[in-house]
Amino acid sequence: MNLNNEESQYSDVVKTLKGLQKVSAPSNFEADLIRSINSGKFEKKERSFWATFLLPSRLIPSAGIAVAAIAVLFLVNTGNPGIEENPLLFPPRVREDVVASKEVPPPQKTKVEEVNPEAKNKINKESVPPPNVSKNNSAYALNEPTSQDSDNSTLGITITGPNAFTTPSNQSMVSFSNGYPINRNGLNYMQRPLTREERAQLELLKKQLIEMMKELNK
Amino acid sequence: MTDKNFNDLNDEELILEFQRNNTERAFEILVQRYKNPLTNFVFRYLGDYEACVDVVQETMIKVYRYKDTYQSIAKFSTWIYTIAGNLAKTELQRRKRRSFLSINAYGKDEDETYEIPDENYRPDDITDSGIKDEIIQKAFLKVSESYRKAVILRDIQEMSYEEIAEIMGITVGTVKSRINRGRAQLQKLLKHIHNE
């Protein structure tokens, strides 16, 4: 419906309202006003920073938010029991799934080339086997030249697989040739994150191993 | 500038004079011009004469104190009616809260001050001539606040739709709609008066 039509529809109301008696201010209005202005009672009181900060209108919401945040943190922490454990007070976890339970394939004799011949000599000196350890069954025989690797004089490191350790098929036990058997219980080790250098070293070794494998396959 | 010259100035010129030179005479003339229209407007909105006078006083004090916030792009009447309307709305809300809370606290306040009653004409006095006015005023108070304000500004203060829109901070279309809805509510409430 058009608004103008509506206005005519309510003409009686409009007429009644226009006929209302006008209300006037009291006679002392101006005197009171001047008095109020001169007394300065309308002036706003300056609040200090702390008075403003501690106003209930500001303090209550912020306190409420803080309490809610603390409650949420408490609930979240309570629900996660792992955080309660202090890693320094607990022994390292035993990774039993990693312990070899089947026969380890016999490692092949591998050769690693070494660029620096001086380093080769150094390694060879360090890895001299003790006199009471047999040459055939020794971990120290790693760098000892055998009939297989004697052909290549550039090799710096020699890993002699079958001589390094024995792997009985009926036991999940690995024993080194120096007489220190390592059984399943002894294989508990701690997981620890590697540093960047260690990781880089590991990557390098991995590459070298891959290259070696490739060469062997050739 | 003489007193006569100040009376010749329009509202905007007077407030500018008050802003720039702090001429109190200019402010006094503005008070003289607006005290009655504002009292009429606020009384119809609140329905309480004493509260209405306080609101108008407070409006004038705000004009005095915040004169520098007035910008000459707006009409002075729009500015002062906006202030009065906002204060009246605040007072209405305060009264609602107080009426709710004061039922149990009546008479406990020892710091209450007593004012000498004004013996002039008071529209809330029940007189023979004022009965109709009182009925209309009671009907007014039953109309929704936003509709009531729009109807008062249009039908009692006789303002344009544009001015009302500016005072209430709404569009002209909304103003027209509110006025008509307010009138419709009033028509229902005052049916018995119109039928007489």
Among B102, B132, B158, the domain boundary falls at B102
Q: Which helix (H) or strand (E) holds A199?
A: helix A196-217
**Set of chain B residues whose Cβ sits within 8 Å of the Cβ of A3:** 176-177, 180
B82-121 per-position pLDDT tens digit: 999 999 999 988 888 777 665 545 444 444 444 444 444 5
Which residues 4-63 of A are in CB contact (within 8 Å) with B? 6-7, 10, 12-14, 16-18, 20-30, 32-33, 36-37, 42-43
For residue B142, tell me if it sits in a domain: yes
Q: What is the pLDDT of chain B when averaged over all its residues?
A: 82
| Shared domain check, B98 and B2 | yes
Find the residue in B nearest to A20 (Cα).
B133
Nearest chain A alpha carbon to B47: A23
Side chain identity, residue B138: K
B107 within some domain? no
Render pLDDT for B156-174 as a digit per residue (tens, 0 to 9): 999 999 999 999 999 999 9
Q: How many structural domains comprise chain B?
A: 2
Do residues B191 and B154 share a domain? yes
ipTM of the complex: 0.75
pLDDT at residue A58, as a whole number: 78
Q: Do A21 and B130 touch (CB under 8 A)?
A: yes
B82 and B145 fall within a common domain = no
**Does B76 reside within a domain?**
yes
pLDDT at A179: 56
Report the range out of A189-198, B34-43, B131-140 with the highest average pLDDT: B34-43
Judge if B182 and B130 occupy the same domain: yes
Please list every residue in chain A whose beta carbon sits closer than 8 Å to the beta carbon of residue B39: 23-25, 29
**Together in a domain, B97 and B37:** yes
Residues B40 and B91 in one domain: yes
- Select from A10, A25, A36 the Cβ nearest to the Cβ of B184: A10
Of B40, B53, B187, the CB nearest to A26: B53
Which CATH number covers residue B129?
1.10.10.10
CA-nearest residue of chain A to B194?
Answer: A12
B46 found inside a domain: yes
How far A48 CA lies from chain B's nearest CA (Å)? 22
User: Residue B6: which CATH number?
Assistant: 1.10.1740.10
Q: Indicate whether B3 and B98 sit together in one domain.
A: yes
The whole-number average pLDDT for the span B52-69 is 92
Three-state SS at A39: helix
Q: What is this structure's pTM? A: 0.53
Which site among A20, A28, A35, A36 would you substitute to test the B interface, given the most B Cβ atoms closer than 10 Å to its Cβ?
A20
Q: Which helix (H) or strand (E) element contains residue A166?
A: strand A165-166
Nearest Cβ partner for A42 among B65, B118, B180:
B65
Mapping DSSP onto H, E and C, the string for chain B reads: CCHHHHHHCCHHHHHHHHHHHCCHHHHHHHHHHHHHHHHHHHHHHHCCHHHHHHHHHHHHHHHHHCHHHCCCCCCHHHHHHHHHHHHHHHHHHHHHHHHHHHHHHCCCCCCCCCCCCCCCCCCCCCCCCCHHHHHHHHHHHHCCHHHHHHHHHHHHCCCCHHHHHHHHCCCHHHHHHHHHHHHHHHHHHCHHHHHC
In a shared domain, residues B17 and B98 = yes
Which range among A52-56, A77-81, B27-31, B67-71 has the greatest average pLDDT? Answer: B27-31
The minimal CB distance from A16 to the residues B64, B184, B190 is found for: B190
Work out the minimum CA distance from B121 to partner chain A, whole angstroms: 8
Chain position carrying tokens 């690995």: A174
Residue B179 sits in which domain range? 124-196
Kindly give the parts of chain A with pLDDT less than 70.
1-7, 41-47, 79-87, 96-191
Residues of chain B contacting A12 with CB distance shorter than 8 Å: 187, 194
Question: Would residue B81 count as lying in a domain?
Answer: yes
Q: What is the model's pLDDT at position A79? A: 60
Are residue B95 and residue B21 in the same domain, yes or no?
Answer: yes
The predicted structure's pLDDT at residue A146: 44
User: In degrees rounded to 5, what are phi and psi of residue A113?
Assistant: -80, 140
Q: What residue in B sits closest to A14 (Cα-Cα)?
A: B155
Q: What's residue B1's pLDDT?
A: 61
Q: What is the pLDDT of residue A124?
A: 53
How would residue B179 be classed by pLDDT, with cut points 50, 70 and 90? very high
At B74 the pLDDT is 81
At residue A157, what are phi and psi to the nearest 5 degrees? Answer: -120, 135
Q: Which residue has the higher pLDDT, A113 or B71?
A: B71
Tell me the mean pLDDT in the region B34-46.
93
- The mean pLDDT value for B11-17 works out to 90
For chain B, list residues whose CB is within 8 angstroms of any CB belonging to chain A. Answer: 28, 31-32, 35-36, 38-40, 43-44, 49, 52-53, 56-58, 60-61, 64-65, 118, 120-121, 123, 130, 133, 136, 151, 155-156, 158, 176-177, 180, 183-184, 186-187, 190, 193-194
